[in-house]
Structure 1
Amino acid sequence: MKLELVLIPSASHGHLPPLVELSKLLVDGHDDLSITVIVIPPRQELRTPSLSSYISSLSTMPRDRIRFIVLSDADRLNSPNTEPDFRSYSESYKPAVKATVAKLNDPARPDLSKLVGFVVDMFCTQMIDVANEFNVPSYLFYPSSAAFLGLQVHMQYLCDVEKYDVGELRDSDAELEVPFLTRSLPAKCVPSVMLNKEWLSVVLSHARRFQETKEQQLNGFQMVEEMGLAVEIRNHFQGEYMAAAETNRELITAEEIERRIGCLMKQDSDVRDRVKKMSEKSHVAVMDGGSSHHALVRFIQDVTDNISSESCG
């Protein structure tokens, strides 16, 4: 039976290329699996020449059983001349994604495959609603670290269950006991994206929806402890999705970055040694039989098991 997975990435450098590579691994791991990657245009403030060039190159990428469909600003539910806030931006593309998948799922198509699920990026959880409309499971693509995922889920618990105002952590000397971490986390190390009122609401809204995806064992290269690789560089999560946020973030000079990298590169640096060991472990993880490779095999098996269960039902 021919199977079809729909992958919906977040259009940014840290999310789209990894998901494209994942799609290649998936089709290589199952001869009857095809993948459609539906790309939602990045928000205006995140558009760069290099990102635009990469997205344009997808249509010419030679790969069997992988299809790329790039939506445009005109596909948005609202006027393309207005820019909704971050949370409603992906929401505005739900009708276009639904229409695209409906065409893929048209029984009249000669090359019709059975739709078996959605893989949605951590910033595109609104698309779980579309998967539900097609009565297929959703899986979460989370390219950030296992430690950050644990912290995100814990923050959602503090806010929704404990009714705790996490804004109190800003400039605090308190330490958090996070179940997913092996040691307490100083409040001053909590990413600023979780302490900014506007962006916290985004973090929490996605974390709530993570629980609606199909349960899969977390694959973090089985190194949740991160091997003690935290280095005291003052970055407050200045990621792509904080590019447009008006927050008071501490800037790091080029000289300070150079000095700290220099410290890491010393031959006798303990951190350098741990980085080397992590690199080796990561390499082993993606090889045949490694933890990451094994997780990929389990995911494909889970998708095919869903089909078997549905047939029996």
Structure 2
Amino acid sequence: MEKAQLVFVPAPGMGHIVSAVEVAKLLLTRCHQLSVTVLILNHSSINSKVHSYIESQRASSSIVSTRLRFIDLPKDETELLSFFSFVNSQKSHVKEAVLKITQSDFVSSVDSPQLVGFVVDTLCASMIDVANEFGVPSYIFFSSGAAFLGFMLYVQKIYDEEKFDPTELKDSDAELQVLSLINPFPGRVMPSAMLSKDWFPSILDNIRRFREANGIIVNTFLELESYAIESLKMPPVYPVGPILDMGSDGRNTHKEIMRWLDDQPPSTVWSSILVVTAPTGTSGLLASPSDYEDPQEVLPEGFLDRTTGIGKVIGWAPQVAVLGHPAVGGFVSHCGWNSILESIWFGVPIATWPLFAEQQFNAFEMVVELGLAVEIKMDYRNDSGVIVNCDEIERGIRCLMKHDGEKRRKVKEISEKSRRALMEGGSSYSYLGSLIKDVTDNLS
């Protein structure tokens, strides 16, 4: 069979790049005539975790690794105003890298793979221009959920057609009738990025490009977001999730925390793990936290002494390994989409405490739309100056751990469905097959 090649252009942040690489691996596992080249945009905010992850993938000896390669693009030293400006500045580097790939493949082998498309990140939609230059289709990889995809397309449409300005809805009681949601959407949980007059124009430009794509790959599954998925008509949507990086079980990298979990009873009520990380010191969509040398500097005096035996304070955590441990009975989450999918996969119910990006929207979807989580403070923003008081936190956690058996049952049920979706004959398995057919149909 003729060989085909896809070029992936992920955003260089852990929440984006890991799920994009996992999608690539799924495609390679299912389609042996396919190869994938991942281009790494060299942004100044890339942290050591991203570099370590890429190196670990390069060193992999898995079956698919022979058809998966990573290319670091040149670093651009130009001072840019926004991440979207940075992406635009990288088009020439992407074009040059793809030219080298296609030319070297052609020279080295008469059976070289044919370039059949680009898969570009949610935040890199302008890379569609490069795909167009090569005369190949482009696909968006949307690393959030289908309901949020529908929401973004809805906001862009009513802004262009009705001059609707979401920045006016901050702290508003107004509600929107969003096509991808069953329930009215309250303005007070508008995603933080859409409330910024600095960010919003660039976000709109990026969203408009979605409609030019040949398809949108979404990290979700039909059984979780059936209403939202069915509301999306153009372009074709491929829900192929949940896309997760299972990684290691944490036994070798975080022995102390895993041993502590082993000593806890199943679905523990009040024993807790508190993850304390420091701000990165930089702003932007790809900023990542780091660990404090001494977490006591930001904890109340005597906190560690008072919680001895009933709690554990740590820095960065192997989240998948922790959520997968039978001792874990609940998850107080910022509601990043990857974290939500990991929690669903392991059947761990969530108490929502969003911070930024689209996390307020995700919290609303989980609590109100899907009934799979309880609220601590759904409209919280980390730049608001508001303090979430101890009563709100206790109420949310107590509801999660003691009183809401129905939500716990629903989460366990959707957990089982998330696993079946990826199995042969499952919904995501079928959508992935449709995507592969669409991609390989581009072979000339």
TM-score, normalised with respect to structure 1: 0.85
Q: Which moved more, 1:216-225 or 1:104-113?
A: 216-225
* Length, aligned pairs only: 294
Which residues of 2 match residues 175-214 of structure 1 at below 5 A?
A: 175-214=175-214
- Counterpart-to-counterpart distance in 1, 2:72 and 2:164: 41
Aligned to 1:129: 129
Inter-CA distance 291–250: structure 2 relative to 1 (3 Å threshold): farther
Which residues of 2 match residues 283-302 of structure 1 at below 5 A?
A: 283-302=419-438
- Counterpart-to-counterpart distance in 2, 1:233 and 1:201: 31
Are 2:118 and 2:139, in contact at CA under 8 Å, matched by a contact in 1? yes
Q: Which moved more, 1:64-73 or 1:107-116?
A: 107-116
- Counterpart-to-counterpart distance in 2, 1:219 and 1:159: 26
Deviation of the 1:254 alpha carbon? 8.5
Aligned to 1:227: 370
- Counterpart-to-counterpart distance in 2, 1:146 and 1:283: 18
Which residues of 2 match residues 1-313 of structure 1 at below 5 A?
A: 1-44=2-45, 47-62=46-61, 63-73=65-75, 76=76, 80=77, 82-106=79-103, 107-110=106-109, 112-215=112-215, 220-222=220-222, 223-224=224-225, 227-229=370-372, 231-234=374-377, 247-248=383-384, 250=386, 252=388, 260-266=396-402, 268-307=404-443, 311=444
- Counterpart-to-counterpart distance in 2, 1:217 and 1:6: 14
**Aligned with 2:199: secondary structure?**
helix
Paired residue type of 2:52 = S
Aligned to 2:283: none
- Counterpart-to-counterpart distance in 2, 1:50 and 1:122: 21
Are 1:193 and 1:237, in contact at CA under 8 Å, matched by a contact in 2? no
- Counterpart-to-counterpart distance in 2, 1:109 and 1:144: 38
Q: Which moved more, 1:217-226 or 1:291-300?
A: 217-226
Deviation of the 1:50 alpha carbon? 2.2
**Aligned with 2:441: secondary structure?**
helix
- Counterpart-to-counterpart distance in 1, 2:84 and 2:390: 33
- Counterpart-to-counterpart distance in 1, 2:391 and 2:17: 31
Are 2:377 and 2:392, in contact at CA under 8 Å, matched by a contact in 1? no
Paired residue type of 2:97 = T
Q: Which moved more, 1:269-278 or 1:200-209?
A: 269-278
Identity %: 43
Q: Which moved more, 1:143-152 or 1:192-201?
A: 192-201
Are 1:121 and 1:142, in contact at CA under 8 Å, matched by a contact in 2? yes
Are 1:175 and 1:185, in contact at CA under 8 Å, matched by a contact in 2? yes
Are 1:221 and 1:285, in contact at CA under 8 Å, matched by a contact in 2? yes
Cα deviation 1:230-278 (Å, max 9, x = unaligned): 532335687xxxx9xxx53646578855763443233643222222222
Inter-CA distance 190–29: structure 2 relative to 1 (3 Å threshold): same
Deviation of the 1:218 alpha carbon? 6.3
- Counterpart-to-counterpart distance in 2, 1:3 and 1:258: 54
What stretches of structure 1 of length at least 5 have no aligned partner?
A: none
Paired residue type of 1:33 = L
TM-score, normalised with respect to structure 2: 0.61
Inter-CA distance 43–126: structure 2 relative to 1 (3 Å threshold): farther
- Counterpart-to-counterpart distance in 1, 2:48 and 2:424: 36
Inter-CA distance 14–184: structure 2 relative to 1 (3 Å threshold): same
Q: Which moved more, 1:217-226 or 1:185-194?
A: 217-226
- Counterpart-to-counterpart distance in 2, 1:72 and 1:255: 50
Deviation of the 1:205 alpha carbon? 1.6
- Counterpart-to-counterpart distance in 1, 2:155 and 2:33: 40
Paired residue type of 1:232 = E
Deviation of the 1:211 alpha carbon? 0.4
Deviation of the 1:132 alpha carbon? 0.4
- Counterpart-to-counterpart distance in 2, 1:254 and 1:56: 42
Paired residue type of 1:109 = S
Inter-CA distance 43–259: structure 2 relative to 1 (3 Å threshold): farther
Paired residue type of 1:66 = L
Q: Considering only CA atoms, is the larger Rg found in Structure 1 or Structure 2?
A: 2
**Aligned with 1:64: secondary structure?**
helix
What stretches of structure 2 of length at least 5 have no aligned partner?
A: 228-368
- Counterpart-to-counterpart distance in 1, 2:419 and 2:214: 27
**Aligned with 2:370: secondary structure?**
helix
Deviation of the 1:191 alpha carbon? 1.5
Deviation of the 1:215 alpha carbon? 3.5
Q: Which moved more, 1:221-230 or 1:140-149?
A: 221-230
Are 1:152 and 1:203, in contact at CA under 8 Å, matched by a contact in 2? no
Inter-CA distance 153–43: structure 2 relative to 1 (3 Å threshold): farther
Are 2:376 and 2:395, in contact at CA under 8 Å, matched by a contact in 1? no
Q: Which moved more, 1:227-236 or 1:294-303?
A: 227-236
